[in-house]
Structures are given as structure tokens and as C-alpha cells.
């Protein structure tokens, strides 16, 4: 099962840390050639080195998803170093908190430019190489925040993550004739470096609100992305998969409190 990833060229944006790093590591462990993309070259290099020391294939790439020129350079690098593009994991994203009363137009633009426009630019840049191969897999990292839930301080983030799904559904139709699928993973609260700044009390409250009573791991997301990226998932497009330990299920605090102990 899912052996089709071996030898494939995979681009992961936002792969120097967190979920993207986990996706890159898991795909490389299955034999993929992974382009590890982040703005900070040193961090991308360090993540690629870790993959290589574990016996995998990885190339670092410093690129900003908000820049069309960078995304085109990223795609060209994957073609040049790894022989084409089979899979794009459009994962890079930011989540700086700001409540509506304090949020500036610049903060709104930064989040939408990175999370939503960045997804579009990464996808657009990879299309010529995927069309040339006659197949492709695009896996977008969305979130439960926006498409399903809300969270004070993250209205811009929620809009960007819901927007990714609207983009995905139309892209999936446009790209279906090219044998390119577009799907999205929707993580709940995943333990990454990006959450470290929120502090231990906040993280404890977050895990308490999950029926499985733990935050997700980056591997929990990576294996779902791996499924969407596989040949076995060829007939699935425009779909989402929630990976959240049951976080969106309880209809009330009582529902959480009355779980079996």
C-alpha cells in the first residue's frame, strides 16, 4: 500500500519546521526526492541534512511563497535536481494572532498573502511540469480553523484557510483532465514549533479540548498527505480530510466531560 511514492519528486513548502518538516521526512522515508522549501536557507538546509542522514533524498530551497518569481525558481529547481514534479504539498503558512479590534490591514494582507495567495502561486508554478508528466498530486494544508471552527484572534487566518478550500475545489475541476488531483488535509491542533510561543498553559487547554486528550503529531498529518499523494488515491479530488483527534465533534463541554474515563 502507498508504495507509489518511491522515486517521485515532491515539493514541500514550509518544510523547515513543524508539519511541513514532518511531511518531508515521511515522504523521504518512503523513497521520495524532496525539495525542502522555506525562506530561511539555513533552516531548510538543516531539515534536508536530517533527511539525508536518515538515508533519504532531499534538496534545500530558499523561496518565499508570496513571490511568483521565487515559486517559479522553486519549480525549476525541482525539475532540474529531481527530474520533474510529481507532488506539491502546499503547506507554508503563518498564524500571528490579532483580534479584530487591533488587527491592521497590513496584518490581514500578510496572512492572506502567505496562506492563500502563496498556495495559488505555488500551485501555478508547478502546473507546467505536472502537465508535462501527464499526472500530478497537490495536497494543501488547510485547517479546521475557518472551514469548520472559529477561534478569537484568527479571523484573517480562518479566512485564508477557508479560502484555500474554495480555491481547491475549482482547481480540482480545472486540473482533472490533466490527471492532477487537488486535495486538502485539515489539521486540528498539532504540536509544532509554530505553537511553542502560545505557552504551556494554552497548549494544555488545547489538548484538554480534544477527545483523544493529546495534540496531534506532525506524522499524523504527514501520513494523510501521503495517502492523497499516492497513486492509490487517483480517483479522489477536491476533497478534505480532518485530522484532529475528534476535536470538532463534542457539541458542548458536557459532551467532553461525559466521555468514558
Under the rule (CB under 6 A), what is the footprint of ligand NAP?
13-20, 38-40, 43, 64-66, 91-95, 114, 118, 141, 143, 187, 189-190, 192-195
CB closer to ligand NAP out of 66 and 155:
66
Instruction: Write out the three cell numbers for 37.
Output: 522549501
Spatial CA neighbour of 227 closest among 19, 23, 31: 23
- Report the SS3 class of residue 62: strand
- Tell me which of 157, 202, 223, 235 is the catalytic residue: 157
CB of 52 to ligand NAP, least distance (A): 18
Region of residue 83 (left: phi > 0; alpha: psi -120 to 50; beta: else): left
d(CA 251, CA 165): 24
CB of 58 to ligand NAP, least distance (A): 14
d(CA 146, CA 162): 5
CB closer to ligand NAP out of 69 and 135:
69
Quote the crossing angle between the two packed helices 18-29 and 41-53, to the nearest 10°. Answer: 30
CB closer to ligand NAP out of 14 and 136:
14
CB closer to ligand NAP out of 135 and 159:
159
CB of 81 to ligand NAP, least distance (A): 18
CB closer to ligand NAP out of 132 and 213:
213
Is 157 catalytic? The answer is yes
Q: Is the CB of residue 63 less than 8 Å from the CB of residue 16? A: no
Question: Which residues are within 8 A (CB) of 95 and not within 5 positions of it... i.e. 6 or more apart?
Answer: 111, 154, 157, 194
CB of 218 to ligand NAP, least distance (A): 7
Q: Is the CB of residue 138 less than 8 Å from the CB of residue 181? A: yes
d(CA 115, CA 191): 19
Q: Based on the number of CB atoms within 10 Å of its own CB, is 56 exposed (0-12), middle (13-18) or buried (19 or more)?
A: buried
CB of 185 to ligand NAP, least distance (A): 8
The catalytic residue positions are: 157
Amino acid at each position: 500500500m502507498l508504495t507509489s511514492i518511491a522515486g517521485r519528486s515532491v515539493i514541500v513548502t514550509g518544510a523547515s519546521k513543524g508539519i511541513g518538516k514532518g511531511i518531508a521526512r515521511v515522504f523521504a522515508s518512503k523513497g521520495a526526492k524532496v525539495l525542502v522549501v522555506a525562506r530561511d536557507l539555513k533552516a531548510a538546509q538543516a531539515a534536508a541534512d536530517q533527511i539525508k542522514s536518515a538515508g533519504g533524498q532531499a534538496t534545500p530551497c530558499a523561496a518565499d511563497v508570496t513571490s511568483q518569481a521565487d515559486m517559479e525558481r522553486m519549480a525549476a529547481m525541482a525539475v532540474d535536481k529531481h527530474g520533474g514534479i510529481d507532488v506539491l504539498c502546499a503547506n507554508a503558512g503563518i498564524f500571528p494572532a490579532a483580534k479584530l479590534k487591533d488587527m491592521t490591514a497590513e496584518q490581514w494582507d500578510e496572512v492572506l498573502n502567505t496562506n492563500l495567495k502563496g498556495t495559488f502561486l505555488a500551485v501555478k508554478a508547478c502546473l507546467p511540469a505536472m502537465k508535462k508528466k501527464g499526472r500530478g498530486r497537490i495536497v494543501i494544508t488547510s485547517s479546521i480553523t475557518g472551514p469548520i471552527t472559529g477561534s478569537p484572534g484568527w479571523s484573517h487566518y480562518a479566512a485564508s484557510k477557508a479560502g484555500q478550500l474554495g480555491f481547491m475545489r475549482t482547481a480540482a475541476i480545472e486540473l482533472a483532465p490533466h490527471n492532477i488531483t487537488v486535495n486538502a488535509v485539515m489539521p486540528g491542533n498539532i504540536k509544532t514549533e509554530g505553537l511553542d510561543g502560545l505557552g504551556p498553559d494554552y497548549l494544555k487547554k488545547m489538548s484538554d479540548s480534544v477527545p483523544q486528550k493529546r495534540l496531534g503529531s506532525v506524522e499524523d498529518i504527514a501520513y494523510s498527505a501521503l495517502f492523497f499523494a499516492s497513486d492509490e488515491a487517483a480517483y479522489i479530488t477536491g476533497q478534505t480530510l480532518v485530522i484532529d483527534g475528534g476535536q470538532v465533534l463534542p457539541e458542548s463541554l458536557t459532551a467532553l466531560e461525559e466521555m468514558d474515563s
